[in-house]
Amino acid sequence: MVAPPETTVPLPGTPEYARKLRHAWRVCSVTSLGLVLIGINASTLNVALPAVVRHFEAGAFAASWILLSYLLVNTTTLVFFGRVADLLGRREVYLIGFVLFTLCSLLAGLSPDVGFLIAMRALQGLGSAMILANGTVIITDAFPPDRLSQGMGVYIGTLSVAQLAGPTLGGLVADTLGWQWVFWLNVPAGVLGLVWGWITLRRVPPGPRTPIDLAGNLIVFAALSAVLIALSEAGSRGLASPVVRAGLLTFLILLPLLLLAERRASHPVLDPRLFGRRMLTYANLASFCTALSRSALVLLVALYFQAARGIDAFTAALGVLPVPIGMALASPLAGALGRRISPYTLSVTGCAMNCAGLLTLTLSTGTDTPYWLIGTGLFLAGAGNGAFLTGNTTQVMAALPPGGLGVVNGFRLMIMNVGIVLSVATTLSVLTGTLTPALRDLVYAGTLSRLSPVAVDHLMTGFTRTYVVLTAVATAGLLCAALARTPR
Per-residue three-class SS string for 309-354: CCCCHHHHHHHCCHHHHHHHHHHHHHHHHCCCCCHHHHHHHHHHHH
Task: Calculate helix-pair angle for 371-398, 114-142, nearest 10 degrees.
Answer: 50
pLDDT at 319: 87
Q: Is 364 helix (H, G, I), strand (E, B) or coil?
A: coil
CB 68 within 8 A of CB 164: no
CA distance 93 to 76: 16
pLDDT at 235: 58
pLDDT at 109: 92
> Of 70, 68, 199, 180, which Cα lies nearest the Cα of 132?
70
CA distance 40 to 35: 8
Buried b / exposed e over 163-199, threshold 16 CB at 10 Å, is bbbbbbbbbbbbeeeebbbbbbbbbebbeebbeebee
Q: Torsion angle of alpha carbons 398, 17, 159, 421, nearest 10°?
A: -30
CA distance 45 to 313: 11
Q: Torsion angle of alpha carbons 91, 386, 228, 36, nearest 10°?
A: -40
> Of 27, 50, 16, which Cα lies nearest the Cα of 317?
50
CB 482 within 8 A of CB 344: no
Low-confidence ranges of the chain (pLDDT < 70): 1-13, 160-161, 163-164, 204-211, 232, 234-240, 269-276, 398-411, 446-454, 486-488
CA distance 180 to 223: 32
Single-letter amino acid code for the residue at 398: A
pLDDT tens digit string along 374-409? 999 999 999 999 899 888 888 877 666 555 555 566
Single-letter amino acid code for the residue at 351: C
pLDDT at 405: 54
pLDDT tens digit string along 82-124? 778 877 788 889 999 999 999 999 999 999 999 999 999 999 9
CB 323 within 8 A of CB 298: yes
DSSP annotation of 47 reads H
> Of 137, 158, 139, which Cα lies nearest the Cα of 148?
139
pTM of the model: 0.71
Residue 220, CA distances (Å) to 33, 178, 229, 250 in order: 29, 36, 14, 12
